[in-house]
Amino acid sequence: MKQKKILLEESEMPTQWYNVMPDIPNGMQPPLDPETKQPMGPEKLAAVFPMGLLEQEMSDKSWIDIPEEIQEVLHIWRPAPLVRANNLEAALGTKAKIYFKYEGVSPSGSHKTNSAVAQAYYNKREGVKRLSTETGAGQWGSALSFATHKFGLECKVYMVRVSFDQKPYRKSMMNTYGAEIVASPSPDTAFGRKILETMPDTAGSLGIAISEALEDAATRDDTKYALGSVLNHVILHQSIIGLEAKKQMEKAGDYPDVIVGCCGGGSNFAGIMTPFLTDKLEGKNIRFVGVEPASCPSLTKGKYAYDFGDVARMTPLLYMYTLGHDFIPPGIHAGGLRYHGMSPIVSALVRENLIEPISVHQLECFESGRLFAQTEGIIPAPETCHAIRGAIIEATRDLNDPKTILFNFSGHGMLDLSSYDKFYSGDLHNYEFPEEAIAEATKNLPQI
């Protein structure tokens, strides 16, 4: 029998994160101060982030040590398995080899926990007592609830309304870890109250929830803010996925022709592919495919421009692919992919043609997710279904030229089964993003 799972011992877990920024051709555009439109230093951001994370956000070092306290918590579930999806391959009738990195083994069930633990640690180290954050699908909120509890911090989570209503078990999980949760827009912030007045029935969005969590942190001395994707330090923390996967592919005696991941804010995809980027820059024949939902297609239909990360225009201006900061995506069920922007790192790599973005519709994603569950056992989160769909496209593109595919299984779907119910009962539909909506949504981009 062939080996199915490629495991690493705890002693083989990477002890440094990989920072891709110094390796990005033509570099990164700096974040801008929204008032002065000048590059923004760490001082001004220190109101909402601890210095330990800001140093990482702007670091030019390629390797950054993972503190022992963080390693110890990561050992609860890491290293994560690399698995050969041989049963899926057989069902597809392909000779392509499909591997997936299984991040669903973390306490909250997704890759998000990798950065949550690091962020809680650096905040704790600098004396912060409480973190505020937003969550879309609930995966980041659960992850940060767990991590803050581990380091003895309080946690307040602003959860996008549509997910709050559809995923009650995510709340139970956050309750279990002792966090406080509220649906966003909420009456707990001035910005939330303002939105509720004008759009009382809104499904909410990550952009709105970020504004609320930022306001919370900005108005309380004991509180800082934590973001689960998009930012450079989050992608740094997620690099552990790709670093492990690289060791594991080597153990398997294989190397990927293509790496696939789903893209919401960009961190899980960047986490798995950035450690392979230098190989590509050195001439290795490897492709990186980022899969986004057709209903929120920032990479494939957005503009590459400076924009705010939130609706209330509180964040610095980030240079990224964006659908416009006041774009509210339709309430599709892949909640974690409902973000108007995209990580500046992923955006820069797309612009450099180092990442190929594609967009897919949700019905084909759920279909792929179900096939995966039936063959490989694990029910994937709706976000992860996008990565699976991408992997299946690559595996079946040309049956005479089978490739070795590695995709990031970002999280399990145990708390997303109501979405599957809707899929089975025919209540889900595809959403074609109207071209005119792009023009409308991006007309308020800030002038630089």
CA distance 402 to 231: 35
Among 25, 27, 90, 176, binds a copy of itself (CB under 8 A): 176
Q: Single out the segment in contact with a copy of itself by CB under 8 A; choices: 103-111, 180-188, 231-239, 272-280.
A: 103-111
Residue 3 sits in the site that holds a copy of itself (CB under 8 A) = yes
94 binds a copy of itself (CB under 8 A): no
Token match 């080899």: residue?
Answer: 97
- Which of 71, 202, 300, 430 is close enough to bind a copy of itself by CB under 8 A? 71
- The residue range among 26-34, 164-172, 199-207, 352-360 that interacts with a copy of itself, by the rule CB under 8 A, is 164-172
| CA pair distance 397, 178, nearest whole angstrom | 47
Is residue 65 a contact point for a copy of itself (CB under 8 A)? no
Name which of 24 and 85 has its Cβ closer to a copy of itself. 85
Interface residue with a copy of itself among 22, 25, 39, 168 (CB under 8 A) is 168
Which one among 28, 169, 279, 446 touches a copy of itself, defined by CB under 8 A? 169
By beta-carbon proximity to a copy of itself, the closer residue of 169 and 255 is 169
Cβ–Cβ contacts within 10 Å for residue 435, how many?
9
Among 60, 68, 401, 435, binds a copy of itself (CB under 8 A): 68
Residues 348-367 close enough to bind a copy of itself by CB under 8 A: none
Task: Tokens 């949760």: give the residue.
Answer: 181
Give the distance, in angstroms, between the CA of residue 184 and the centroid of all CA atoms in the same chain. Answer: 19
426 scored as a contact of a copy of itself (CB under 8 A): no
Q: How far is the CB of 108 from a copy of itself (least distance, A)?
A: 8
Binding of residue 370 to a copy of itself (CB under 8 A): yes
- Contact call for residue 155 and a copy of itself (CB under 8 A): no
Which range of residues in 54-62, 287-295, 375-383, 430-438 is near a copy of itself by CB under 8 A? Answer: 375-383
One of 27, 41, 178, 187 touching a copy of itself (CB under 8 A): 178
Report how many residues bind a copy of itself under the rule CB under 8 A: 45
Query: Which residues of this chain interact with a copy of itself, rule CB under 8 A?
Result: 1, 3-5, 7, 9-11, 68, 71-72, 75-77, 87, 105-109, 146, 149, 168-169, 172-173, 175-178, 370, 373-374, 376-379, 412, 414-415, 417-418, 420-421, 424
